[in-house]
Amino acid sequence: MDEPADGEWQDGNGGAGMGLLKGKVAIVTGSSSGIGRAIAERLAQDGATVVVNYHVHEEKAREVAAGIQAGGGAAAVIQADMSRVADAQRLVQETVHQFRRLDILVNNAGRFIPKKLVETTEAEFDAILALNAKGPYFAMQAAAKVLSDGGRIVNISSALTHLKFPGATAHLGSKAALEQYGKGLAQELAPRGITVNTVLPGFTDTGVLTEQYRTMGEQMSPFKRLGLPSDVADVVAFLVSEQARWLTGQVIQAGGGLVM
């Protein structure tokens, strides 16, 4: 059987069927690996049709979609560079064109460059802000125009924005911006019953942490362990559910008590 093209429908065994998010369509940016993958898989488990977004790792994105399909869920794969405004807008447009609706947007795509302010180049600053802040801003703008009433937007920031964490100023500033975007947009979309919240993971075992950050995360955690992608995905799954309809404009620490 030929591989589906970008955005092509994948549906296994009739779809997830009985989940809490049955009938909902969700975009999860940067969902070919790590926290984004865990979120995509969890929302699919709950019944949503999930758009798996990737920038360059097409094979990994298709693996995520295939896994969702194997579990009886439904997924589409759409390429978009979330640092480019046109791509962020196209991702939303293609989703609505294909599925005729959008109910959930999870802005997860991002990058972490641990570099001191005095060493950060203009090009590095622009690249970080484009992916972590500018792209999500315009994805929210595009989504706000088409989201179903009662829809959900969740931004993934970082617990480091609330810690004394040196050597990553551009990253921290870009992620903190998401928190403010969420508060403002929550006010704008509340009349339509749409909630906007921001989740702040701590040190999470996505397979890319250096030994230094792994050790730091374990030592700082009250639980003395790193977070798992599924820990964060469970929080997001709650926020996009009907049970979280009374939560909006919130900045939610999902780092296992890293910030109290």
Neighbours of 257 (CB within 10 A): 12
Distance in angstroms between the alpha carbons of the first and the last residue of the chain: 51
Is residue 187 over pLDDT 70?
A: yes
Give the span between the Cα atoms of 140 and 257, in whole angstroms: 28
Give the span between the Cα atoms of 185 and 77, in whole angstroms: 27
Integer-rounded Cα Rg, in Å, for the chain is 17
**Under DSSP, is residue 176 helix (H, G, I), strand (E, B) or coil?**
helix
Cα-Cα-Cα-Cα dihedral sign, residues 204, 207, 212, 218: positive
Between 14-18, 126-130, 188-192, the lowest mean confidence (pLDDT) is in 14-18
Give the span between the Cα atoms of 63 and 68, in whole angstroms: 9
Give the span between the Cα atoms of 9 and 98, in whole angstroms: 8
Give the span between the Cα atoms of 179 and 257, in whole angstroms: 18
pLDDT of residue 3: 38
Q: Is 10-254 a domain of CATH 3.30.365.10?
A: no
Give the span between the Cα atoms of 237 and 75, in whole angstroms: 16
197 touches 132 (CB < 8 A): no
- Stated as kind and residue range, the H or E segment containing 92 is helix 85-99
Is residue 36 over pLDDT 90?
A: yes
pLDDT of residue 113: 87
- CA 142 to chain CA mean position, Å: 16
Is residue 9 over pLDDT 70?
A: no
pLDDT in tens, 128-152: 999 999 999 999 999 999 999 999 9
Q: Where are the domains of the chain?
A: 10-254
194 touches 151 (CB < 8 A): yes
- Stated as kind and residue range, the H or E segment containing 26 is strand 25-28
